[in-house]
């Protein structure tokens, strides 16, 4: 079979497809795509993430003319999943299955199975079978009805609240065929024709003119990550589409723009530098690390072994700081020291100790497989206690003044609101494990304060009055806390935090975490007693107070995938559990999804039925190429309600220790020589 030259694109719903119909293909692993498509009275904006090589997930926000009211836009939120069952071979097509709008109001609810086959390097055909909305044209009895009569009928009601998973309706009711053909006319130009099984029953008539099931389109690859499409659909309407893609694996600055790492100094050269014990020796070690943004927490030389504790202040991966520390120490430590034990320390807590042989550093620095070989020869295990911090390490004070960008998405009155301003933050550590920190924000420009949508919640309004905080809280004290971090046992970690914990609540938070250094499993318990802050986000409080807390289980599946389950009591007093799955890339990107179910009935929760969303963390150094641990994090929720709302506390224990332990170090070891 000739190597396909056809570009796989995104359809108007934002996942792998023709024009409106799906295809049986997957996008490059890790790809993140933003798609915006418009045709008469309908604008669909979709964010799609290739979660794994075969699985993609999409969150869609559509604005369409409301058939029910006839005088305004309807804002509709929905999720989709697309799974590649098998890849294309010389004899067999690719096969995929998908679910549309399985968490939403049901306007786009449908399921499908689809196959795609490349006929020539420029020609590909697709055919599939659809249910639900994709069974509107040429429908026939469901072939799955031969397995069970339950597959023969389907409830086509559209949920009022949205967010409910109608599992009993999946692949039910009539089915219909759809298909299409793609022709790659040139490197950048592709022509597409399809037969759509979508009858547009919801839109047809007042808001859309349906004439024919045949659609025709043309796509132009303007740039590697930018695709433009135009199409003529359903015999009556013209549509346009724009898709922008990026992949966290491919940063704009591939090699980075940070200071080059130090070179390994052979021992015969290092011997001339000298080392005079506990006086100028630690000072010299601190001086050589400082240019690389690494703080020396403590150092101890015993015989032929040196233990070096470091504060990684610059690199998102601890491995990169460990690698640079090891190379820098070859130019400082006396030649008889042949073993380096390097321990990253965060918030005064020691992580795993990484044991490296000096001879391996000298031998592997320029080897082609140096990263893998250095990992194979390194020892990673639990650190038995800590050394005395060097003179001058405490007290430590740092501050920063930087811009901030805050967004509010999917307000039904205005789907996109944002603020841009300045944030001043400070951090003070008087002793190991004791951390005082706070931040104040001042808005410069934005419209977050313009939302006048009143809360209709029947629950305590712990989140649904966020717009009032935005109106009255400028400037705002976002947090002001004192915390103590400690390690009561080799595999146990503790934290106690008090103060203004987050934008809406202040009080006391305590946590204990069990996390062996070499284990992918961790478990913890957190308890909090908090009071709601005044709307001006200054120092006052409102009348509402609550005891809240969770038992949590964490598991690192490897290859960057982390799962988490939190069960307990939420801020509104409801009881339930949150399930989350995140994928963290080696360069610090993180994309994940979560869902929370509590004892609040769906109709009391309100629109959306239960709390759910997508969270994204973007490392600033991915964009700038400069060394920094700063990130931009955002949570995309279909709607913000009070049920399932959890307290936000800075530097929870799992977040603090995870990247200093063996599984995370192993996953990111490729950055050891960077």
Do 528 and 636 belong together in one domain? yes
Q: Over range 48-66, report the average pLDDT.
A: 90
More confident residue, 535 or 639: 535
**Residue at which a domain ends, from 212, 246, 280:** 246
Position 82 scores a pLDDT of: 97
Is residue 2 scored above 50 in pLDDT?
A: no
In a domain, 86, yes or no: yes
pLDDT tens-digit map of 589-607:
999 999 999 999 988 887 7
User: Which CATH number does the domain housing residue 172 bear?
Assistant: 2.40.160.40
Do 383 and 406 belong together in one domain? no
pLDDT tens-digit map of 88-107:
999 999 999 999 988 777 88
Whether the upstream peptide bond of residue 475 has omega within 30° of 0, thus cis, is yes
Do 508 and 581 belong together in one domain? yes
In a domain, 320, yes or no: yes
In a domain, 272, yes or no: yes
Do 326 and 226 belong together in one domain? no
Do 305 and 453 belong together in one domain? no
Do 105 and 230 belong together in one domain? yes
How far are the Cα atoms of 232, 233, 534, 622 from residue 238, in angstroms, in the given order? 5, 6, 51, 38
In degrees and rounded to multiples of 5, residue 640 shows phi and psi of: -100, 115
Do 363 and 408 belong together in one domain? no
How far are the Cα atoms of 69, 99, 110 from residue 134, in angstroms, in the given order? 25, 11, 6
In a domain, 669, yes or no: no
In a domain, 51, yes or no: yes
- Is-contact 163 104, C-beta < 8 A? yes
Spell 246-270 as b/e; 16+ CB within 10 A means b: bbbeebeeeebebeebbebbebeeb
pLDDT tens-digit map of 206-246:
667 889 999 999 999 999 999 999 999 999 999 999 999 99
What is the rounded distance in angstroms from the CA atom of residue 241 to the CA atom of residue 233? 13
User: Which CATH number does the domain housing residue 645 bear?
Assistant: 2.40.160
Position 499 scores a pLDDT of: 98
Do 459 and 317 belong together in one domain? no
Is residue 672 scored above 50 in pLDDT?
A: yes
More confident residue, 58 or 625: 58
What is the rounded distance in angstroms from the CA atom of residue 4 to the CA atom of residue 90? 11
In a domain, 25, yes or no: no
Position 75 confidence tier, pLDDT thresholds 50, 70, 90: confident
Residue with tokens 């786009």: 108
Say how many domains are in the chain: 3
H-only helix segments in 378-488: 466-472
What is the rounded distance in angstroms from the CA atom of residue 645 to the CA atom of residue 653? 20
Position 160 scores a pLDDT of: 47
560: region left, alpha or beta (phi > 0 left; psi from -120 to 50 alpha): left
Position 266 scores a pLDDT of: 87
In a domain, 9, yes or no: no
Position 575 confidence tier, pLDDT thresholds 50, 70, 90: very high
How far are the Cα atoms of 61, 300, 440, 556 from residue 73, in angstroms, in the given order? 12, 67, 37, 43
Q: What is the mean pLDDT of the chain?
A: 90
How far are the Cα atoms of 213, 237, 375, 455, 584 from residue 180, in angstroms, in the given order? 11, 19, 50, 47, 36
Do 284 and 362 belong together in one domain? yes
Do 274 and 154 belong together in one domain? no
Is residue 521 scored above 60 in pLDDT?
A: yes
User: Which CATH number does the domain housing residue 346 bear?
Assistant: 3.30.300
For residue 384, give its domain range.
267-392
Q: Over range 44-67, report the average pLDDT.
A: 89
Do 70 and 100 belong together in one domain? yes
Q: Over range 46-51, report the average pLDDT.
A: 95
Is residue 256 scored above 90 in pLDDT?
A: no
- Is-contact 47 6, C-beta < 8 A? no
What is the rounded distance in angstroms from the CA atom of residue 269 to the CA atom of residue 296? 23
What is the rounded distance in angstroms from the CA atom of residue 407 to the CA atom of residue 393? 38
What is the rounded distance in angstroms from the CA atom of residue 527 to the CA atom of residue 551? 9
Do 127 and 239 belong together in one domain? yes
Position 159 scores a pLDDT of: 47
Position 625 confidence tier, pLDDT thresholds 50, 70, 90: confident
In a domain, 191, yes or no: yes
Nearest to 236 by CA among 261, 264, 254, 214: 214
């Amino acid at each position: 079979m000739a190597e396909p030259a056809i570009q796989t694109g995104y359809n108007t719903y934002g996942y792998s497809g023709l024009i409106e119909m799906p295809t049986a293909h997957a996008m490059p692993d890790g790809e993140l795509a933003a798609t915006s498509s418009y045709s008469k009275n309908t604008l669909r904006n979709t964010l799609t993430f290739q979660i794994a090589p075969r699985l993609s997930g999409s969150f869609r926000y559509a604005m369409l003319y409301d058939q029910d009211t006839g005088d305004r836009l309807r804002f509709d939120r929905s999720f989709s999943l697309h799974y590649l069952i098998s890849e294309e071979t010389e004899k067999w097509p690719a096969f995929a299955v998908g679910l549309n709008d399985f968490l939403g109001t049901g306007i786009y609810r449908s399921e499908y199975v689809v196959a795609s086959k490349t006929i020539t390097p420029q020609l590909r055909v697709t055919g599939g079978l659809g249910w639900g909305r994709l069974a509107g044209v040429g429908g026939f009895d469901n072939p799955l009805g031969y397995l069970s009569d339950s597959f023969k009928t389907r409830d086509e009601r559209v949920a009022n609240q949205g967010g409910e998973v109608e599992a009993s309706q999946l692949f039910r009711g009539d089915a219909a065929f759809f298909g299409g053909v793609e022709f790659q006319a040139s490197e950048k130009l592709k022509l597409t024709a399809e037969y759509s099984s979508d009858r547009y029953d919801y839109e047809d008539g007042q808001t859309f003119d349906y004439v024919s099931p045949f659609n025709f389109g043309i796509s132009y690859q303007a740039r590697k990550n930018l695709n433009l499409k135009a199409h003529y659909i359903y015999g009556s309407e013209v549509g346009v589409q724009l898709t922008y893609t990026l992949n966290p694996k491919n940063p704009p600055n591939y090699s980075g723009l940070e200071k080059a790492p130090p070179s390994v100094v052979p021992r015969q050269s290092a011997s001339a530098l000298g080392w005079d014990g506990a006086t100028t020796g630690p000072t010299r070690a601190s001086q050589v690390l400082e240019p690389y943004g690494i703080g020396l927490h403590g150092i101890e030389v015993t015989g032929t072994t040196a233990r070096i504790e470091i504060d990684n202040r610059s690199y998102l991966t601890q491995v990169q700081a460990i690698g640079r520390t090891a190379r820098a120490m070859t130019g400082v430590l006396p030649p008889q020291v042949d073993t380096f034990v390097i321990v990253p320390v965060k918030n005064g807590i020691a992580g795993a100790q990484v044991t490296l042989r000096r001879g391996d550093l000298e031998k592997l620095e320029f080897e082609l497989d140096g990263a893998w070989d250095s990992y194979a020869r390194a020892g990673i295990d639990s650190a038995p206690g800590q050394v005395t911090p060097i003179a001058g390490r405490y007290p430590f004070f740092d501050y920063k003044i930087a811009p901030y960008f805050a967004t509010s998405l999917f307000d039904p009155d205005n789907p996109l609101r944002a603020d841009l301003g300045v944030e001043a933050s400070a951090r003070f550590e008087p002793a190991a494990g004791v951390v005082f920190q706070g931040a104040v924000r001042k808005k410069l420009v934005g419209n977050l304060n313009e939302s006048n949508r009143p809360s209709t919640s029947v629950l305590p309004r712990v989140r649904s009055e966020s717009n009032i905080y935005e109106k009255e809280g400028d400037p705002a004290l976002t947090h002001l806390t004192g915390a103590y971090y400690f390690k009561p046992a080799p595999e146990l970690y503790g934290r106690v935090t008090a103060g203004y914990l987050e934008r809406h609540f202040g009080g006391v938070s305590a946590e204990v975490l069990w996390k062996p250094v070499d284990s992918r499993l961790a478990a913890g318990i957190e308890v909090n007693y908090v009071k709601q802050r005044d709307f001006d986000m200054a120092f006052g409080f409102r009348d509402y107070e609550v005891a809240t807390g969770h038992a949590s289980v964490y598991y690192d599946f490897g290859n960057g995938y982390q799962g988490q389950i939190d069960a307990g009591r939420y801020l509104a007093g409801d009881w339930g559990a949150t399930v989350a799955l995140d994928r963290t890339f080696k360069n610090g990107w993180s994309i994940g999804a979560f869902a929370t179910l509590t004892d609040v009935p769906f109709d009391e929760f309100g629109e959306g039925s239960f709390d759910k969303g997508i969270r994204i963390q973007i490392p600033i150094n991915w964009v700038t190429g400069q060394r920094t641990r700063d990130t931009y994090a955002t949570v995309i929720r279909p709607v913000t309600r009070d049920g399932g709302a959890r307290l936000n506390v800075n530097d929870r224990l799992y977040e603090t220790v995870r990247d200093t332990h063996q599984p995370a170090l192993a996953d990111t070891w490729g950055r050891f020589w960077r």
